């Protein structure tokens, strides 16, 4: 059996609220294999985003271990983690976070440029824009795009970095149902074609049900659903 591309073992995270420590994550085990798609659901405030932040190395855990491609990165410093993320892990956010001053194509290319990938990022970003159905909107500024189009640009940007894993934090949260379905279809098919592992945090049952494995986060613990 192959070792997982991404794994969290016994992850714990506390937050201080006044004089009290609140234990948000109480020892979570989760793993993702190459090309696998898992979904995580849970109530608002249950710790879904915190779990994604721990898995992506944006936040440090209070306990447990995070493995990227078999390497324990729990003790890495911020800059080392940033370098390690290049070409390994991309994130897709609910609010897209595109750079407003540059056009859609340039936004997509940022994924590869920041990752410093040794590839022709111009042609790769153009290809990705065509694959997400925005071949006609290459030079449109983000402000002129619809919410669904912006999220597709954000997905193309995540893909452009050539990652092994994509962590998507409620990517359809700001979209209507039809557009949200199209975005998830696109994300799922692109990850499947490129053998990219996908972790999807969502409130939408239908989207969660598309995953190979479905998890529910409750009371600081992650439960696998049948």
**Residues at the site binding other proteins, with contacts judged by CB under 8 A:** 53, 56, 58-59, 78-79, 82-83, 85-87, 90-91, 93, 95, 97, 99-103, 106, 110-111, 113-116, 141, 143, 161
- Residue placing its CB nearer to other proteins in the complex, 2 or 79: 79
Nearer to other proteins, 106 or 217 (CB): 106
Looking at the Cβ atoms of 60 and 213, the one nearer to other proteins is 60
For residue 138, the minimal CB distance to other proteins (Å) is 12
From the DSSP assignment, how many helices (H) and strands (E) are in the chain?
7, 10
Distance CA 206, CA 188 (A): 13
* Nearest-approach distance from CB 73 to other proteins, in angstroms: 13
How many Cβ atoms sit within 10 Å of the Cβ of residue 222? 22
Secondary structure E strands in 5-154: 6-17, 20-32, 37-42, 63-68, 71-72, 89-92
| Residue 97 Rama label (left phi>0; alpha psi -120 to 50; beta) | left
Residue 134 is given by DSSP the state: -
Q: Supply the minimum distance, in Å, between the C-beta of residue 209 and other proteins.
A: 27
Q: Between residues 81 and 190, which has the closer beta carbon with respect to other proteins?
A: 81
User: Least distance in Å: CB of 125 to other proteins?
Assistant: 13
């Amino acid at each position: 059996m192959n070792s997982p591309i991404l794994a969290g073992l016994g992850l714990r995270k506390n937050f201080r609220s006044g004089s009290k420590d609140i234990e948000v994550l109480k020892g979570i085990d989760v793993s993702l294999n190459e090309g696998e798609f898992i979904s995580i659901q849970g109530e608002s405030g249950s710790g879904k985003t915190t779990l994604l932040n721990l898995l992506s190395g944006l936040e440090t855990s209070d306990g447990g271990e995070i493995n990227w491609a078999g390497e324990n990165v729990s003790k890495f410093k911020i800059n080392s983690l940033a370098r390690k993320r290049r070409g390994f892990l991309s994130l897709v956010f609910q609010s897209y976070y595109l750079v407003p001053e540059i056009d859609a194509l340039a936004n997509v290319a940022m994924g590869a440029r920041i990752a410093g990938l040794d590839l022709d990022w111009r042609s790769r970003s153009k290809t990705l824009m065509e694959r997400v159905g925005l071949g006609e909107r290459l030079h449109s500024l983000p402000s002129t795009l619809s919410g669904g189009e912006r999220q597709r640009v954000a997905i193309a940007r995540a893909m452009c970095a050539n990652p092994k894993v994509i962590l998507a934090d409620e990517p359809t949260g700001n979209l209507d149902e039809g557009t949200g379905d199209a975005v998830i279809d696109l994300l799922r098919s692109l990850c499947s074609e490129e053998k990219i592992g996908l972790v999807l945090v969502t409130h939408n049952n239908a989207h969660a049900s598309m995953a190979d494995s479905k998890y529910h986060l409750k009371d600081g613990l992650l439960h696998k659903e049948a």
